[in-house]
């Protein structure tokens, strides 16, 4: 798709990040709305093989709100806002980090290096730069960027398999709470532009 688009890898990726990752981050920081944006509930619309817009679906169980009052412009009816779970900022940040970066972008970056020669470190440097540009363009949201610190040096290791091994895989109305392992270097931090790792325990 990148070859057919007629764009360079960097230009194509910039469009992808601006049209997919940044809107998800904007929902989180501006409105306090968190999504587990994995491949099952996130789609990308392409025009001429170029990323055009993001489509979000399948909200059941994967749409959460930050604790505390929401901005008025969030636009959620009171009945809906009252029915959705409220989580601390760190939990919603991990919905984005693990849902989008770890289960999506982490698999794209090595493919680009293997097939198009675009270094994985450059991939995360570019994503860091787009996120930083977004933050600089919205100085009024400095408090939210501190709450949802996506560019910090390390991120907590979320161990879902460890929990499932303990509680089993039976159907349950409640979502299991993850266990945490040792911190991982964050590839979005300028000193750690390296491959994302995940727990295999």
In a domain, 166, yes or no: no
Q: Provide the percentage of residues in the chain whose pLDDT is more than 70.
A: 81
In a domain, 61, yes or no: yes
DSSP 73-132: GG---HHHHHHS-EE-HHHHHHHHIIIIIIIIIHHHHHHHHHHH---HHHHHHHHHHHHH
CATH code for the domain in which residue 104 is found: 1.10.510.40
Does 40 have pLDDT greater than 50? yes
In a domain, 160, yes or no: no
In a domain, 200, yes or no: no
Domain that holds residue 70: 2-152
pLDDT tens per residue, range 1-27: 999 999 999 999 999 999 999 999 999
pLDDT tens per residue, range 168-192: 666 665 565 666 667 888 999 877 6
């Amino acid at each position: 798709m990148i070859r057919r688009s007629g764009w360079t890898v960097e230009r194509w990726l910039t469009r992808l990040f601006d049209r997919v990752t940044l809107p998800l981050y904007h929902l989180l920081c501006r409105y306090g709305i968190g999504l587990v944006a994995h491949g099952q509930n996130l789609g990308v619309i392409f025009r001429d093989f170029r990323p055009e817009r993001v489509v979000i679906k399948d909200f059941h169980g994967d749409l959460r709100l930050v604790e505390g009052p929401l901005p008025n412009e969030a636009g959620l009816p009171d009945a809906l806002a009252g029915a959705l779970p409220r989580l601390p900022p760190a939990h919603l940040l991990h919905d984005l980090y693990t849902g989008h970066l770890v289960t999506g972008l982490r698999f794209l970056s090595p493919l680009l290096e293997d097939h198009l020669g675009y270094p994985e470190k450059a991939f995360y440097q570019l994503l860091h730069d787009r996120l930083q540009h977004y933050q600089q363009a919205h100085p009024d949201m400095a408090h939210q960027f501190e709450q949802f610190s996506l560019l910090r040096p390390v991120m907590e290791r979320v161990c879902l398999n460890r929990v499932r091994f303990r509680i089993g895989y039976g159907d349950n109305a409640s979502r299991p709470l993850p266990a945490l392992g040792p911190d991982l270097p964050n590839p979005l931090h300028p000193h750690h532009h390296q491959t994302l790792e995940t727990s295999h325990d």
